[in-house]
A and B are shown apart, each in its own frame.
Chain A
Amino acid sequence: MTDTIPVIRTEGLTKVFGKVRALDGLDLTVQPGEVHGFLGPNGAGKSTTIRVLLGLMKATSGRAELFGGDPWNDAPRLHRRLAYVAGDVALWPGLTGGQCLDVLGSTHGSVDEQRRADLVEQFQLDPTKQVRDYSKGNRQKVALIAALATDAELLVLDEPTSGLDPLMEQAFQQRIRNRREHGVTVLLSSHIMGEVEALADRVSIIRRGRTVTSGTLADLRRHTRTAVHAVTVAAPGALTDIKGLADFQLERLNELTDTRFTIDSDHLDAAIGRLHVAGIHTLTVTPPSLGALFLQSNGETLDPKESAGDGSLAEVVQ
């Protein structure tokens, strides 16, 4: 079975620049056909990981595999199968956008001319304008169109939409879904939580050059807390007995009772049951957003008390 070979696999990847450990044992696995969100704060090592995977930089230690091959020794052959959009889109100021598309396309190999034309229209790019006259967003469009127009099996996108407006962001998401339907694998490094939430099948969160957590969004959510806000007719009974419930607050509002708490997903059912018995007036259940996951896994809003015994993200972070 060839499809069991991950498209991208790193194990214990480290990269040291002088005294700085940019990567410190990073593990990342991207399976064929998935859109993999790659998250981390600035300076966490996302771009360095990508450069090692592209064979632009040599890992200090650890393993990096691209399509099962060694990117450092075999870069040009492996690159035939991928297209890359760099974080800082750097193009040649003296070329027009259209010329840049073709030059970039020529380095990636096969370009679907029809799709190229469609993309130019969809992203509203004027290909006769010189790159030096483009805004940041337009330069980004050039790089994106060049990558999306190729027949690559893997798209490596390093914060590809930071300069796009919401309309273009929509177009981008639609195109990524379209490529995935065609079996294309995507490594999407991004800061835009909504984008990753909307697109990613699986997510890896890294911090200080290490993988903090990795899994499907559902997986990650299972290990995190859901916020519940309920207004009930009667006071709900013995909520604090439920395992995994925290941040409990109770307030009397005239005839009604206002209750807030957070709870891990496994015990949500029991908690809602008690609220139901008390007669629900209004109920808001907020699953953790990716943003909350991201902050949590970076240990920024995490209360040590809460994390005790939680056994998942928090422990990995510490």
Chain B
Amino acid sequence: MSAGHSAADDRSRGLGTMLHIVARIQWRSAWIWALVLGASMAGTAASVASLYDTAAKIHTYAAAVTTGSALAAINGHVEGIDSLGGVIQDEFGFLIAVLMPLLAISLVARATRAEEETGRLELLLGGRIARHHPTVAALLVVTATIFATAVLFAVGLAVFGVPPTGAVLYALSLGALGFVFTGLAALFAQLTPHARGIYTWSLIILAGSFALRGIGDVTKTWVTWLSPLGWAEKAAPFGDQRWWALLIPLAAGLTLSIAAARLASRRDLGSALVRGGAGPDRATVRLRSPIGFAVWIHRPAILGWLAGGVMLAGLMGALSHQFLDAMAGNPAVAKAMGIGGGRPVDGLIAATQLYLAVIAAGYLIQGIGTLRTEESNGRLENRLSGTLSRRRWLAAHTVVLLGGLVTIVLGSSLVLGLATALSAGDTAEFGPTLTSGLAYLPAELVLGGIALTVYGMRPRLFAIAWASYAAMTFIAFLGSGLKFSQWVLDLSPTTHVGNPPMNAVDTAALVVMSAVTAVLGAVGFITFRRRGVPES
């Protein structure tokens, strides 16, 4: 550095360097997020525009979903739903409320704590980068990504006929939602010592936001205003268009961001406010066994996904009474949920079980992804340098993952059955609720089989497993509402289960899917036995 530079010069130069680094590391995942979200929005808009191409059809839809207040608990209370934009906002409401915060959380976690944990950040801070620069750079890069996503949203909506003003406000309200979680994740990145903690705490806040918005929308009270999801909703892009409502998330996001940057510049590298103390100096006998160790590794994922499933099941079950009332009052409600015909309570459980299947499959993919992490971090080498054979190691993890899967499915179904019985007073549904949950196991296992095969053959291509999961999720959540062609619906294993308990389980399909799973699993085991470890 030459003597001519002022301190301020150096500071901005350090931030510039850091921005460059973060952008370099993150651009690929940032673009994938932006494009996938943008495409999902455009796809939803296109489907809605072609399905509801007359004012009359839109009106029927609006009348259906606003009958009673139960649906509002999931998709939110959409103001101005009697319009093309309103229908899109309602259809896309649940998915985007998860994906937008997730974009922010995952990008921030990767750019901050994950870098610090691996020690790469230390290398940079040895240069002329100030302590808060990485955090600020991460905030700027993620905010830019969110803005780009919002631009894609607005363009996608406008292309398919949504009035530009509403499209822009809707896109900005979702962007502002992402911004809140950007700041939140950056703050948690300072408080928890590990990237995993950022996810855990941010997702807890997201779940809380859902609950608050749900309560507020169902009871039609001010409680909605306590939730970041409520702020996005209250901008009412297709209703009253409250532009000023954007100020709340912007102020909240900015406050959180400033707090995060302040903390980053004050704390020691690698430190955290929340930190574990001393632990046991010996491992239990259980931890020393392959199965016990696999349980230890997968327990957080099992508990986390179980909590998600139980929350969803509890919410749907508890609201079943209101759903049933709504459906009794207006048959179109059931149609809007994609559960026309049959007994209403069966339809409700069937819809929930499909959501639970998406949760259970997500757990499997993440669980098998953990094996890949074990390998790429070099820990698998340690495990296999002893008397544990590869087959036994993989078998132990498979057994534990299967046990976790059954736990999640049965636990969620149990809660769904109980809550439905309590709310709707219909105990006859208890048994079918459990069996329909179990009927989805083969479909979930096909996804697990795909993940295991990819892991066995080419672990570095594990993104394929997640892409399959994303496709399945998209089809399961939006397929029937947006009336996808049958061949698209057929791509998802969940389609073949038969939508129990509303319709009969397709036993033949379950047998076929189980066979497919067995083949995929065998391929995974055999290829894993034959390849080198670690395969990077």
Contact call B532/A57, Cβ cutoff below 8 A = yes
Assembled-state Cα–Cα distance A83/B387 (Å): 10
Contact call A132/B193, Cβ cutoff below 8 A = yes
A-B contact count (CB 8 A): 113
Contact call A76/B388, Cβ cutoff below 8 A = yes
Most buried by A among B387, B388, B532: B387
Contact call B378/A99, Cβ cutoff below 8 A = no
Assembled-state Cα–Cα distance A132/B533 (Å): 24
Q: Interface on chain B toward A: helix, strand, loop, or mixed SS?
A: loop
Contact call A130/B379, Cβ cutoff below 8 A = no
Residues facing B in A82-111 (CB within 8 A) are 82-84, 86, 88-93, 95-109
The answer, yes or no, to whether B342 is at the interface (CB within 8 Å) is no
The answer, yes or no, to whether A177 is at the interface (CB within 8 Å) is no
Contact call B281/A103, Cβ cutoff below 8 A = no
Contact (A107, B282) CB under 8 Å given A56-B533, A93-B194: no
The answer, yes or no, to whether A127 is at the interface (CB within 8 Å) is yes
Q: Which residue of B lies closest to A146 (CB)?
A: B382
Closest chain B CB from A102 CB (angstroms): 3
Q: Which of B54-62, B285-293, B444-452 contacts A (4 or more CB under 8 A)?
A: B285-293
The answer, yes or no, to whether A79 is at the interface (CB within 8 Å) is yes
Contact (A86, B387) CB under 8 Å given A103-B287, A127-B281, A128-B279: no
Q: Which residue of B lies closest to A55 (CB)?
A: B384
Contact call B280/A57, Cβ cutoff below 8 A = no
Which of A77, A86, A132 is close to B382, meaning CB atoms less than 8 Å apart? A86
Assembled-state Cα–Cα distance A132/B272 (Å): 12
Q: Which residue of B lies closest to A17 (CB)?
A: B532
Contact call A96/B281, Cβ cutoff below 8 A = yes
B386 proximity list for chain A (CB < 8 A): 76, 79, 83-84, 104, 106-109
The answer, yes or no, to whether A75 is at the interface (CB within 8 Å) is yes
Contact (A95, B384) CB under 8 Å given A88-B378, A102-B288: no
Contact call A102/B384, Cβ cutoff below 8 A = no
A143 proximity list for chain B (CB < 8 A): 382
Contact call B287/A51, Cβ cutoff below 8 A = no
Contact call B532/A56, Cβ cutoff below 8 A = yes
Contact call A128/B281, Cβ cutoff below 8 A = yes
Contact call A56/B385, Cβ cutoff below 8 A = yes
Contact call B194/A132, Cβ cutoff below 8 A = yes
Closest chain A CB from B391 CB (angstroms): 9
Number of interface residues of A (CB under 8 A): 43
B126 proximity list for chain A (CB < 8 A): none
The answer, yes or no, to whether A129 is at the interface (CB within 8 Å) is yes
Residues facing A in B265-315 (CB within 8 A) are 275-276, 278-283, 287-289, 293, 297
Contact (A102, B387) CB under 8 Å given A56-B381, A57-B532, A90-B378: no
Which of B278, B379, B387 is close to A108, meaning CB atoms less than 8 Å apart? B387
The answer, yes or no, to whether A54 is at the interface (CB within 8 Å) is yes
Contact call A99/B387, Cβ cutoff below 8 A = no
Assembled-state Cα–Cα distance A80/B386 (Å): 6
Which of B283, B389, B392, B534 is close to A103, meaning CB atoms less than 8 Å apart? B283
Closest chain A CB from B480 CB (angstroms): 41
Contact call B194/A79, Cβ cutoff below 8 A = no
Assembled-state Cα–Cα distance A128/B276 (Å): 11
A229 proximity list for chain B (CB < 8 A): none
Closest chain B CB from A60 CB (angstroms): 11
Closest chain B CB from A114 CB (angstroms): 15
Closest chain A CB from B526 CB (angstroms): 14
A89 proximity list for chain B (CB < 8 A): 378
What is the 8 Å Cβ interface bit string for chain A, positions 24-66, against chain B (1 contact, 0 not)? 0000000000000000000000000001001011100000000
B193 proximity list for chain A (CB < 8 A): 132
A129 proximity list for chain B (CB < 8 A): 278-279
The answer, yes or no, to whether B262 is at the interface (CB within 8 Å) is no
Contact call A58/B278, Cβ cutoff below 8 A = no
Most buried by B among A83, A86, A102: A102
Contact call B288/A106, Cβ cutoff below 8 A = yes
A103 proximity list for chain B (CB < 8 A): 283, 287-288, 293
Q: Which residue of B lies closest to A82 (CB)?
A: B385
A127 proximity list for chain B (CB < 8 A): 281-282
B389 proximity list for chain A (CB < 8 A): 75-76
Contact call B381/A90, Cβ cutoff below 8 A = yes
B530 proximity list for chain A (CB < 8 A): 58
Assembled-state Cα–Cα distance A84/B278 (Å): 27
Closest chain B CB from A272 CB (angstroms): 50
Assembled-state Cα–Cα distance A77/B388 (Å): 9
Contact call B282/A102, Cβ cutoff below 8 A = yes
Closest chain B CB from A281 CB (angstroms): 50
Contact (A128, B278) CB under 8 Å given A80-B387, A98-B283, A102-B283: yes
Assembled-state Cα–Cα distance A102/B289 (Å): 10
Q: Which residue of B lies closest to A96 (CB)?
A: B279
What is the 8 Å Cβ interface bit string for chain A, positions 202-220, against chain B (1 contact, 0 not)? 0000000000000000000
Contact call B287/A102, Cβ cutoff below 8 A = yes
The answer, yes or no, to whether B165 is at the interface (CB within 8 Å) is no
The answer, yes or no, to whether B132 is at the interface (CB within 8 Å) is no
A80 proximity list for chain B (CB < 8 A): 387
Closest chain B CB from A195 CB (angstroms): 22
Assembled-state Cα–Cα distance A17/B376 (Å): 17
Contact (A90, B280) CB under 8 Å given A80-B387, A102-B288: no
Closest chain A CB from B152 CB (angstroms): 37
Closest chain A CB from B304 CB (angstroms): 14
The answer, yes or no, to whether B383 is at the interface (CB within 8 Å) is yes
The answer, yes or no, to whether B377 is at the interface (CB within 8 Å) is yes
Which of A92, A97, A109 is close to B387, meaning CB atoms less than 8 Å apart? A109
A156 proximity list for chain B (CB < 8 A): 385
Assembled-state Cα–Cα distance A58/B527 (Å): 13
Contact call A95/B385, Cβ cutoff below 8 A = no
Q: Which residue of A lies closest to B193 (CB)?
A: A132
A96 proximity list for chain B (CB < 8 A): 278-281
A86 proximity list for chain B (CB < 8 A): 378, 381-382, 385
Which of A75, A90, A97 is close to B377, meaning CB atoms less than 8 Å apart? A90
Closest chain A CB from B420 CB (angstroms): 37
Closest chain B CB from A56 CB (angstroms): 4
Contact call A99/B532, Cβ cutoff below 8 A = no
Closest chain A CB from B147 CB (angstroms): 35
Closest chain A CB from B178 CB (angstroms): 29
Contact call A92/B282, Cβ cutoff below 8 A = no
Q: Which residue of B lies closest to A104 (CB)?
A: B382
Assembled-state Cα–Cα distance A106/B392 (Å): 14
What is the 8 Å Cβ interface bit string for chain B, positions 193-216, against chain A (1 contact, 0 not)? 110000000000000000000000
B282 proximity list for chain A (CB < 8 A): 98-99, 102, 127
A88 proximity list for chain B (CB < 8 A): 378
Contact call B385/A54, Cβ cutoff below 8 A = yes
Which of A57, A84, A99, A106 is close to B385, meaning CB atoms less than 8 Å apart? A84
Closest chain A CB from B328 CB (angstroms): 51
Closest chain B CB from A134 CB (angstroms): 12
A97 proximity list for chain B (CB < 8 A): 281
A98 proximity list for chain B (CB < 8 A): 279-283
Closest chain A CB from B284 CB (angstroms): 8
Contact call B381/A107, Cβ cutoff below 8 A = no
Spell out A's residues near B (CB within 8 Å): 51, 54, 56-58, 75-77, 79-80, 82-84, 86, 88-93, 95-109, 127-130, 132-133, 143, 156
Give 4 closest A-B pairs by Cβ, nearest first.
A107-B386, A90-B378, A102-B283, A98-B281
10 contacts between A and B (CB under 8 A): A56-B381, A75-B389, A79-B385, A84-B385, A84-B386, A105-B288, A108-B387, A130-B276, A132-B193, A133-B275
In the complex, besides A75-B389, A76-B389, A102-B282, 9 extra interface pairs with C-beta distance below 8 angstroms are A75-B384, A77-B387, A84-B386, A90-B377, A95-B279, A100-B283, A102-B287, A128-B279, A132-B193
